[in-house]
Each structure stands twice: as structure tokens, then as C-alpha cells.
Amino acid sequence: MHRRGVGAGAIAKKKLAEAKYKERGTVLAEDQLAQMSKQLDMFKTNLEEFASKHKQEIRKNPEFRVQFQDMCATIGVDPLASGKGFWSEMLGVGDFYYELGVQIIEVCLALKHRNGGLITLEELHQQVLKGRGKFAQDVSQDDLIRAIKKLKALGTGFSIIPVGGTYLIQSVPAELNMDHTVVLQLAEKSGYVTVSDIKATLKWETERARQVLEHLLKEGLAWLDLQAPGEAHYWLPALFTDLYSQEITADEAREALP
Amino acid sequence: MAMSFEWPWQYRFPPFFTLQPNMDTRQKQLAAWCSLVLSFCRLHKQSSMTVMEAQESPLFNNVKLQRKLPVESIQIVLEELRKKGNLEWLDKNKSSFLIMWRRPEEWGKLIYQWVSRSGQNNSVFTLYELTCGEDTEDEGSPKVPVSTRKEGCLLFLPEFHGLDEATLLRALQALQQEHKAEIITVSDGRGVKFF
């Protein structure tokens, strides 16, 4: 093997090729960038026009808001990106979600002692609407999810757990892993879950099922019912449908105040 | 006497009738039970109860839900109430109790305010006068006709609605402790002097 000859030459060639590619790559990139930049400017102008025309609509109509947000997303614009900045100033969209975020926190605080910091999106929606009163802007579940995602990004301990077609919103950072979440999803149907349910549906061992249920009790998310037919039932206040019709009591409202 | 009593959400929540193993949850549960017992008794004008009655009362026995709080747990709730000053055992066996939705000290304060406001400090009342013959414990006492009821008929005043004689006595004892009143013996029973 003639190391020197092959090595030096090959390396040199390689380097030259790389340099050429790099050059071309740079040229390409610059070109592309210039084009994209032009396009973005155009997009931005159009969007500005659109936004100013439809500002009212955006604030008033939840469906319209969803479509507007989706549109922004496709061109990589986040109207809620920062408190200050073009979009939130332009549309006041940021304010809307900020205020909504505050309302969500209030509802969650008020109900936390009842449900351990876990609430269905439906109940949250109901309570938020109640709090806003008749003449306030309408708020959709989509709005809530967006506001919560913002809260989540701010590090407030919120998380969103998908269950049976809807979502559970966790406002207190409890330690929930996959096993816990899967059991929550199981409980969503009837508001409670049993060891047998878990074994039958998830095919787990008794011990694994028991551990999850113990954890839910420990986190204050579940209550134990020893008078249920057959075996112990573990009920989640967050999923207890009857609770939806309950008003926030005066005590609970007091808890929500700073 | 079907009251439109508003049961709290917990009353329809099956695990409410099982003593919770998690201590934080148990605290919330007991607080809710204490609150429920007091508002139930207040609305039903029930100032005393036996443990047997309690077990079968709709208060601890939700027939529709098919759940009832077991007697050991009832005892725990009652002990909480006793610690808070809202309950007093009437016998050594702890089979019957006095339940006071307002603590005797709180009643005492209200009574003393009423006495001062109406300028009746240093006046003496017999217990009979204070209750105007509404002696809940003695069925045989004659009822005082409305026309002869004096200003001193405490139990007929709206602000003392829900105050029974046993609790009244304890309220007066609380005032006595604070040297704002003195329970004295009069010719046919007991009386009280306010300072």
C-alpha cells in the first residue's frame, strides 16, 4: 500500500471538491434566501392587510380565530410569540390569550382542592364561560388549549393529557408517567377505575395496577371507595361528571385570589 | 318538614363515605363532613342527637347513592367537631351529643352585644325569662302568651334564631368565664346577671 501517494492526492481532491460544493451551496443559499425574503415580505404585507381588515372578527369569532391561527402557522408566524411585537400589538391577540390564561389559572386554583389539580377541558370551558359572563367575547375549547400551551411554555406547571377524545388539563405539576396517564384515560368513561378494569383492558399484573392507583391516591387525584359492589373503586373528582353542574363556592373563589 | 337543603357536591360523590387513606385528602374530607353536619343540624333545628340516630339519618346515610359513613368514621367526624368546639358529649358512653352550629363563645359574644345595646347591663334575668318558657327540655312548662313576652325573650329574637336552651346555657357559661356575666341561683331555678 502506497499510503503517501494515494493519501495526499485523494485528500487534496476531496478538499477541492468540498470547496466547490461549498461555494455552490453558499451561492444557492444566498439566492434562496433572497427569494424567500421577498416572499415573506409579500406574505407579511398581505397578512397585515388581512389582519387589520379582520381585527374585529378575529377577536369576536372563535372559528375565525382558529383559521387565522392555522394560517399563521403555515407560514411560521406565531401571533402569540411575545407580549410585545408586531402581531400582538397589531391584533391584540396576545392580550386576549393572556387574559384567558389568567382566567384559566383562577378556575384551576379555585377547583384544585376538589380535583387535585386535574380538570377536564369541558369543565374548564364551562367554568371559564361562566366567569366571563353573558356579554364577554366567546371562547372556544381551541382557545383554551392555545392559552394553556402558552402557560405551559411559561413554565407554570400546566400540562395537557389526551383522554378518550378530549383532554385533561393538569394545573398542579404532579408526577404522572405513561402508566398513570393511561389509567386516567381508562377512568374517563365512568369517572372511576378498578384493578380489574386495568387488568382486563391493559393486561397488566395486579401489582402494577395497584401501584398506579396508589400513586393517584397519593397525588390527591383519586379518592378510594370501599362500598362499591365487588372491589374497591378509585374515583377521580376531575372526571366526576356531576361536578360539572356545581358552582364554584364562595370558599373556592376565595382560594383563587392571590 | 322537607327542607330545600342543598347538599354539597361531596354528598353525591361515593368515596366521600369511605375514610380516605391519603392524609391530605382525609383532611379535606373531614372538613367537608364537619361543615355538612353543622349546616344540616342548623337547618333541621337539631341541637342534639344520638349516635344511633346519626347512623340512620340521611346526613350520614345516602340511600340513593347506597353509601353510608361507617360508625367508626362517624366517631372521627364527631371528634373533629368536638375539637373545634361545636360538639359536646352528653354522656360518658358517648352515645348522645349536643351539636352547636355556632360555638358557645360566639353565641356569648352576640348575647353580650344585645345586652349592652339594649342597656340591660347589670340586670338580672331568670333563665325562664330569657327563653320565655321555650324550654326545649321540659315539656310541662306553660307557654308564655305573646302579649306578656318581655324584651328579654332572647330565643324569639331573630338574631338568636337557632339557639336552644342547652347551648344558651353554655354561651352564658362562656360569658361567665370572661367575667361578663354570672350565673346565679334564683328562687325557682337559675338566672344570670350581666355586667
pLDDT of chain B, 195 residues: tens digit per residue: 445 678 988 999 999 999 999 999 999 999 999 999 999 999 888 999 999 999 999 999 999 999 999 999 999 999 999 999 999 999 999 999 999 999 999 999 999 988 888 777 778 888 877 877 654 444 344 554 444 445 557 777 778 877 888 999 999 999 999 999 999 987 778 889 988
Q: Is the dihedral of CA A134, A145, A175, A193 positive or negative?
A: positive
A191 touches chain B (CB under 8 A): no
Q: Find the closest chain B residue to A116 by CA distance.
A: B25
A215 touches chain B (CB under 8 A): no
The answer on pLDDT for A254 being more than 70 is: no
Q: Find the closest chain A residue to B68 by CA distance.
A: A227
Inter-chain touch A220–B20, beta carbons under 8 Å: no
Query: Which residue of B12, B25, B29, B63 is the best one to mutate when testing the A interface, meaning the one whose CB has the most A CBs within 10 A?
Result: B25
pTM comes to 0.70
Q: Find the closest chain A residue to B14 by CA distance.
A: A225
Instruction: Kindly report, residue by residue over A26-75, the tens digit of the pLDDT.
Output: 555 677 777 777 777 776 677 667 766 777 777 777 887 787 777 767 66
Kindly indicate whether the ipTM for this predicted assembly is greater than 0.90, answering yes or no: no
d(CA B179, CA B173): 10
Inter-chain touch B18–A225, beta carbons under 8 Å: yes
Q: How many CB atoms lie within 10 A of CB B170?
A: 19
Q: Phi/psi of residue A119, each to 5°? A: -145, 145
Per-residue model confidence (pLDDT) at position A65 = 78
Q: What is the DSSP string of A108-152?
A: HHHHHHHHTTEEEHHHHHHHHHHHH-TTSPP--HHHHHHHHHHHH
Q: How many CB atoms lie within 10 A of CB B82?
A: 15
Cα dihedral B124, B128, B134, B139, rounded to 10, equals 170
Residues in contact with B185: Cβ distance below 8 Å, sequence separation at least 6, in sequence order: B191
Q: How far is B22 from chain A (nearest CA, A)?
A: 6
A246 touches chain B (CB under 8 A): yes
pLDDT, chain A, mean: 78
Inter-chain touch B15–A246, beta carbons under 8 Å: no
d(CA A257, CA A252): 9
Contact B130, B192 (CB under 8 A): yes
Inter-chain touch A220–B22, beta carbons under 8 Å: yes
